[in-house]
Structure 1
Amino acid sequence: MTQTILITGASSGLGEEMARQLAARGYDLALCARRLDRLEALRDEIAAAHPARRVEVRALDVTDDDQVFSVFQAFRADFGTLDRIVVNAGIGKGAPLGTGRYDANRETAMTNFVAVLAQAEAATEILRDQGHGHLVLVSSMAAMRGLPKAQTTYAATKAGVTSLGQGLQADLYGTPIKVTLLHPGYIVSGMNVVDGKLPRLMATTEDGVRAMVDAIEKEKREACVPPWPWTPLSFVLRHAPLSMVRRMV
C-alpha cells in the first residue's frame, strides 16, 4: 500500500528536494508552504515525472497556529492516513544579541521553535489518533553547541527542536509512533558550486537530501546528515573549546 508523507516548507530548498526524491521512491505527498505557486509548479513537475504519484498542495504559514492545525487535518482528510509527517519549515535569520536586531532574532525563534512546536503538536495529535505513524523533525548540526555571532539564536532554536524531539521519543517509546531527529550539516544547491567544486564540508542539495531520505526510511532515532563528516564532527562541536567554536562560525 502506498504511504503518504506530509512535508512542510516544501516550496524550496531541502523540502522541495525531499518531495522530488520521496516521489521517486514511490510515496504520495502532502506539500505545504507559504508560496502556493511554487508548490503547484512542483506538483506539476512530479506529476510529469511520476504519473502514478498523488500530490496535494496547500498554502501554509507555519507561524499561524490555527492554520497549522487546519492544514494538517485537511491533508489527513484528503488521504485518510498520514504515514509520515516531516516538520521541515524554518528560516536562517539572526543577528548578534545586543546589536539592535531583536526583530530578526524574534522572527527566527518564532519560526524555528514556536512554529515547530505547533507543527509537532498538530502532527502528534493525528498520529496518536491513528495509532501509528512517523514524525520527522529537521533540526541542525547547530543544535550541538551554542554558537556565536549571527548564529546564536538560530542554534538555540535548533537545540530546542532537538530537545523537543527527544522528549517525544521518550513519551512515545514502545508505541507504534516513531520520532526521527535529523541534524543536517552544510548542504548547498548546485547553483552555489564554483568551477564544479563544492565549498569545503558542503554537500549538494541532492546528496544531502538523499542522506536525509535514507535516514527517514530507516526510521533512525537521530542522524547527522550526510553522515560524513558530520557524525564525527558532532563530537567535536560538543567538546571543542570556546576559542575554537568562535573561529568555526
Structure 2
Amino acid sequence: MSVRKRILITGASSGLGEQMARDFAAKGRDLALCARRTDRLDLLREELLAAHPGIKVAVRALDVNDHARVFEVFQAFRDDFGGLDRVVVNAGVGKGRPIGTGGFEANVQTAQTNFVAALAQCEAALEIFRFQQAGHLVVVSSMTAVRGLPRNLTTYAASKAGISALAEGIRADLVGTPIKVSTILPGYIASELSSRSADMPLTVSTEKGVRAMVKAIEAERAEAKVPGWPWIPLGFVIRHVPLRFVAKMG
C-alpha cells in the first residue's frame, strides 16, 4: 500500500479534525486544512510547521454549506500540492432537538451540514480522484449511525446514517478501482462537538480517540468503529436490542 502523502481535512480548526492534523503531521504528511475559523487554522499551521519543519501545510477558509466554495477549495488545494492522496470529510455539527418540539431550524442545519455538505465534499473529492485514477476518501460518521436514536440525537443520528450509506454506495461504485473509501464511526471521543458527552461513560480523550481513528484510516479499512473496544461489541448490541432500550439513550 502506497503512502498517502497529501491529505486534505475539512473541519480542521478544532476537535477531531485538529487532532488528526497533528497525528498526520507527526507521520510526515503534507496537509491541506480548511474550516470556517481561519485564525485557528493559522495557529495550527504555525504549530505543525514548528514541530515538523519538513512538511507542507496549506490552509483555506471553508464553510462546507457553501457548496460551490467546496469545489473551489478542493481544486485549489489539488493545484497547491500537485494532486491529493486522501480527503477526510470531517466537518459537521451536533445540534438537534426532538422532532416536533419547535427545533426545526437546528435540525435542518444539522441535516444540511452533516449530509448535504458531506455529499458536496464527496463529489469534489471524487472528481479529483477519478481524474487522478487514485485516492482515498474518508468519511467521518458516528456510532450514532447504527440505530435511530431519540430526543436531541434523532436528526444527528439520521444524518450520520445517511453519510454512512453514502460512503458505502460510493465504495460499491468503485469496487475494483484504485480509489478506496473508508467510513469511520467514532464512539464517545472528547471534542468541542461532543462536549455534551464529555462526562458520559466510555468517553475517551481526543488524543486516544483520534489515534484509533488515524490507525483505521491508515489501514484503509472499509468501515471502522473506533476505538474498537468497546464500540465494536456495543455497536452490535445497540443495533439489535429492542427499541424500548434504545428509547433510554440520548
Q: TM-score scaled by structure 2?
A: 0.95
Alignment partner of 2:109: what SS?
helix
For residue 58 of structure 2, give the secondary structure of its aligned residue in structure 1.
strand
Distance in 2 between the 1:15 and 1:151 partners? 21
- Aligned counterparts, 1:84-163, within 5 A: 84-163=86-165
Q: Distance in 1 between matches of 2:201 and 2:158?
A: 25
Structure 1 unaligned segments of length 5 or more: list them: none
1:214 is the counterpart of 2:230:
no
SS at match of 1:40: helix
Q: CA deviation at 1:248?
A: 2.2
Match of 1:51 among 50, 53, 56: 53
Q: Which amino acid counterpart does residue 94 of structure 2 have in structure 1?
A: G
Residue 76 of structure 1: how far off its partner (Å): 0.1
Asked whether the 8 Å contact 1:2–1:28 carries over to 2, the reply is no
Q: Percent identity?
A: 64
Deviation beyond 4 Å, 4+ runs, structure 1? none
1:76-119 Cα deviation digits (max 9, x unpaired): 00001100000000000000000011000000000000000000
The whole-number CA distance in structure 2 between the counterparts of 1:91 and 1:62 is 11
1:22 paired residue number: 24
For 1:129, what is the secondary structure of its paired residue? helix
How far, CA to CA, are the matches of 1:137 and 1:37 in structure 2? 25
Q: Note the C-alpha offset of 1:23.
A: 0.2
Which residue number in structure 2 is paired with residue 223 of structure 1? 224
* Cα distance change on mapping 1:92 and 1:2 into 2, 3 Å: closer
CA displacement 1:53-96 (0-9 Å, x = unmatched) = 11000000000010000000000000011000000000000000
Quote how far apart the aligned CAs of 1:199 are: 4.5
The amino acid of 2:97's aligned partner reads A
Offset at residue 247 of structure 1 (A): 1.3
2:87 is the counterpart of 1:70: no
CA distance in 2, matches of 1:206, 1:167: 30
Q: How many residues align?
A: 245
Contact 2:167 2:181 in 1 (8 A): yes
8 Å Cα contact 1:198-1:204 kept in structure 2: no
**Deviation of 1:243 (Å):** 1.3
**SS in structure 2 of the partner of residue 203 of structure 1:** coil
**What's the secondary structure of 2:23's corresponding residue?**
helix
Post-superposition Cα deviations, 1:16-59, rounded to whole Å, max 9, x if no partner, equal 00000000011000000000000000000001111111100000
Q: What do you get for the CA RMSD once the two structures are aligned?
A: 1.7
- Tell me by how many angstroms 1:189 deviates: 4.9
Equivalent pair of 1:87/1:137 in contact (CA under 8 Å): yes
Task: Describe how 1:27-46 pairs up with structure 2 within 5 A.
Answer: 27-46=29-48
Shift of the 125–189 alpha-carbon distance from structure 1 to 2, 3 Å rule, reads closer
Q: Residue type of the partner of 2:175?
A: Y
TM (norm. structure 1) is 0.95
- Cα distance in structure 1, aligned partners of 2:4 and 2:247: 47
Answer yes or no: is the 8 Å Cα contact 2:16–2:191 preserved in 1: no
Cα distance between partner residues in 1 of 2:200 and 2:184: 22
Decide whether the 8 Å contact of 1:140 with 1:158 is kept in 2.
yes
Partner of 1:187, secondary structure, is coil
- Aligned amino acid, residue 219 of structure 2: K
Which moves more between the two structures, 236-245 or 90-99?
A: 236-245
SS at match of 2:246: helix
